[in-house]
DNA sequence: CCGTATCCTGAAGGATACTG
DNA sequence: CAGTATCCTTCAGGATACGG
């Protein structure tokens, strides 16, 4: 069986790149929300409870770099900005939905494991 | 549009749990390799170039906790251990394969973005 | 051959305060 | 309203050395 080289796994592997992007904390939430239509930052902040301005901007810039999100600025006062998925971004909705669907089907297992892990972490603390 | 609550996003969301597991550095590689059949640690180390003993064990333990991998010990000298996917683990091969397929189809975009990001990170260093 | 225990660094991400 | 700049804590993950 052929080994998977370091470079292959670290750099070339588009799969891991994609997984790393998709697992950034607010990425799935943002992509899902934007899949419902273009949104203003304020709306996104209200929709994603707990996200800070910093993380919102940072994650959106990140997604812009990936060509997944497009930013439109309306030159008015007060400022008006809108974010929307690009065509590439739209193509990313489906894989996330697949993962989401799978996670829902197996949510029992996942939930069980998660509470176990939480418990063991806490009992290891003191 | 209903907001996504903090708890919902942090804790309950099986999707993010799953994505976090799947994006741990060696998880996709291990699951893929084990999908080809049960393997001994030595074989896994050789197959996943660059993985350290520590990360191999740690990741495998992690996957065991998730009920995704099963560990069999043969009581002989020298020690003989084998790792294999559980039924739940088998069910995880498909979503990873889907992500992988999607990443391959769009590898052009991903590669382009990645090299751009590398470059910008390096130019920001000095 | 297989596993564990330490130490260390970088990066993710939260809190807070400031600008236009 | 939208965005930037700092500071700080946490933790993934690599290197290394030891044990059964």
Domain limits at B31?
6-124
- Residue A93 pLDDT greater than 60, yes or no: yes
Which range in A9-18, A87-96, B6-15 is most confidently predicted, on average pLDDT? A87-96
Domain count for chain B: 1
Q: How far B116 CA lies from chain A's nearest CA (Å)?
A: 8
Is residue A71 assigned to a domain?
A: yes
Tokens of A126: 């003191």
Containing B15, the helix (H) or strand (E) segment is helix B14-23
Residues above pLDDT 90, as percent of chain B = 56
Is residue A1 assigned to a domain?
A: no
Look up tokens 């790149």; give the residue.
A17
Phi and psi of B87, rounded to 5°?
Answer: -55, -40
Is residue B13 assigned to a domain?
A: yes
The protein footprint on chain C, as nucleotides within 7 A of a CB, is: 1-6, 12-17, 20
- Residue B124 pLDDT greater than 60, yes or no: no
Is residue B76 assigned to a domain?
A: yes
Nucleic strand D contacts from chain A, 5-34, CB < 7 Å: none
Which among B29, B103, B117 has the least Cβ separation from residue A9? B29
User: Are A9 and B102 in contact (CB < 8 Å)?
Assistant: no
d(CA B27, CA A102): 17
Nucleotide nearest to A79 (CA to C1'): D1
- Residue A7 pLDDT greater than 60, yes or no: yes
Is residue A32 assigned to a domain?
A: yes
Is residue A45 assigned to a domain?
A: yes
User: Are B91 and A106 in contact (CB < 8 Å)?
Assistant: yes
CATH code, B30: 1.10.10.10
Tokens of B110: 């991903």
Is residue B1 assigned to a domain?
A: no
d(CA B112, CA B69): 35
Tokens of B93: 């091969």
Cβ-contact A1, B49 below 8 angstroms: no
User: Are A15 and B114 in contact (CB < 8 Å)?
Assistant: no
Q: What are residue A80's DSSP bridge partners?
A: A74
Nucleic strand D contacts from chain B, 66-95, CB < 7 Å: 78-79
Q: How far A77 CA lies from chain B's nearest CA (Å)?
A: 26
Look up tokens 């889907």; give the residue.
B98
Name every chain A residue with its beta carbon within 8 A of the beta carbon of B114. 11, 17
Is residue A49 assigned to a domain?
A: yes
Look up tokens 């929300």; give the residue.
A33
Cβ-contact B70, B85 below 8 angstroms: yes
Selection from A35, A44, A96, A42 nearest residue A69 by Cα: A35
pTM comes to: 0.88
Tokens of B20: 């976090």
Residues above pLDDT 90, as percent of chain A = 56
User: Are B15 and A99 in contact (CB < 8 Å)?
Assistant: yes
**DSSP β-ladder status, B69-74 and A80-85:** unpaired
Residue A94 has a pLDDT of 87
User: Are A88 and B106 in contact (CB < 8 Å)?
Assistant: yes
Q: How far B25 CA lies from chain A's nearest CA (Å)?
A: 8
């Amino acid at each position: 069986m052929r080994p998977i080289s370091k470079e292959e796994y670290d750099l070339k592997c588009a799969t891991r790149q994609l997984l790393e992007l998709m697992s950034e904390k607010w990425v799935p939430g943002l992509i899902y929300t934007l899949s419902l239509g273009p949104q203003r930052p304020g709306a996104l902040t209200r929709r994603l409870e707990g996200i800070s301005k910093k993380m919102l901007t940072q994650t959106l810039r990140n997604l812009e770099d990936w060509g997944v999100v497009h930013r439109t600025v309306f030159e008015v006062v007060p400022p008006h900005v809108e974010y929307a998925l690009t065509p590439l971004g739209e193509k990313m909705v489906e894989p996330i939905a697949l993962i989401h669907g799978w996670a829902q089907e197996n949510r029992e297992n996942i939930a069980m494991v998660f509470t176990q892990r939480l418990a063991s972490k806490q009992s290891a603390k003191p």
